[in-house]
Structure 1
Amino acid sequence: MNEIEIDDDSCNVLVTTDDARTCTGCLDRGDPGRRAELTVSYPDASAEQRGFGDHGRTQPATKGLISVDDTMRSGAAPASSGPEFTGAVAQDAIADPTNLQRLGTSVSEFCQRWDGEDYDIVVCFDSLTALLEYTSPEVVFQFCHVLTKRLESVDAVAHFHLDPSEHDDQTVATFQSIFDETVGRETQAETMDVDYVEATDDDIAALAEGWSEEASYSIVGGTYDRPDDVTEATDDDIEQTLADRL
């Protein structure tokens, strides 16, 4: 297996190459007997599942798959119930690709489960280019900013695919600024002027606990946005709170 060179301190990596060995190299880190591997896939956007199901490499102890905009979910649990951990591969399906609250909840639940079982967590997010087909760069930027902080909090090693040929240099440069390292093509363009709120400790705690309890505040919201009694937010509520941040 050819290994790619990634700094040991890099928890979140942006991958801007389509070389499948790069994805595999990002996933094959540490002891496979203690590794839990999560893939976020956008099958309806024709994104490749680069690392998932590659039997030519050492397989991890456990796997999870979040399919976004996937109408072919298997299993008896309804789509709104969250990840199903009973099968050989833990699965979740999210019908609405614009529902980042739902996606964040799912990722957080995988993190909670596997971190509690003392697994080394690796994540493949395939891909930001697919996500950007449904949601504005500003909202995706803010979502990724908080999500990467959540992944850091459980010592996960995550990589996010982005096809630079599908975006202008300014967009690519803006996403580069979130990540610890970029593997593949880089750009020195000016970043977008995105007015986002720095994630606080409370925001990260909300990702660990609040999302799985259907918190009603935005993933980028400050403590002043949050009601005393947490109830499930509607899509309009989340959209409005995100819009207020931009």
Structure 2
Amino acid sequence: MHRLRTPLGALGLWLLFAFPAAAQFDDEPPAATPSAFDETEIDAADAEDFDDAPETDLDAVDRAHAAYLADSALQLERPEQDFEPPPPRPTPPWLQAIGDFLTALGPVFRVVFWAAVALVVAGILYFLFGEAIRLRFGGRAKKKDKPQDDILQDLRPDAAAARSLLDEADALARQGRFAEAVHLLLFRSIEDIQQRLEGGVPVSLTAREISNLGRLPDRAKRALGPIIQVVERSHFGGRAVDAEGWHEARRSYESFAFGEGWA
């Protein structure tokens, strides 16, 4: 019996709450549907609202803006850093003195510069045309003074060696071997020139070519000339060297070895 009452009580409670809820859903009004409206009425209402709004006083805005800009308490610009470079170091007195001295010599340096330019130009012109100018105007006068240059270089052999050579040549001449005696004088003279002449003498040169060397002093050329002529007449001309030719060659060698005017 007790088990039966419990389900019946639950069913009664359910019915009690179910009927009022259903009645509530039945009494709800229908959903509202959008209705057409008059746009002209809304625009007129908005216009009335704007007409009622207060007007902006532009003069007051300008005065407020001017007062804002004039307020010194406000920072309206970005501050810029004011950088001041350090003052330059003073020039040392000694350096200032050197600068003043060089400044004073400026005109002198200008003259020296143009003088150097003129010398360079003159040197180039002389290098290109100097030989022609010398031959055209001063060649003869220079040639007269050339014998004095022979004193600058002594090509003579030692006196003892020269006397020993003459003794050997005289011994050959007493035997009638005049050609050998003359050749001996010539070869020894060329050896002395090769040893004493600055730069030496190329071995491939003949006796005549050696006598025509431009750096050979004229006094040496004149002294060796007769010896070379005697040897050439004997070697190339087929003429035997006699006593006269020997004595001529001997005198030339004596002039070369013991002649005056050498340094």
Same-fold status (TM-score > 0.5): no
Structure 1 length as normaliser, TM-score? 0.22
Higher helix share: 2
Instruction: Specify the structure having the higher radius of gyration (Cα).
Output: 2
Higher relative contact order (CA 8 A, sep 6+): 1
Q: Give the number of the structure whose residues are more often strand, by fraction.
A: 1
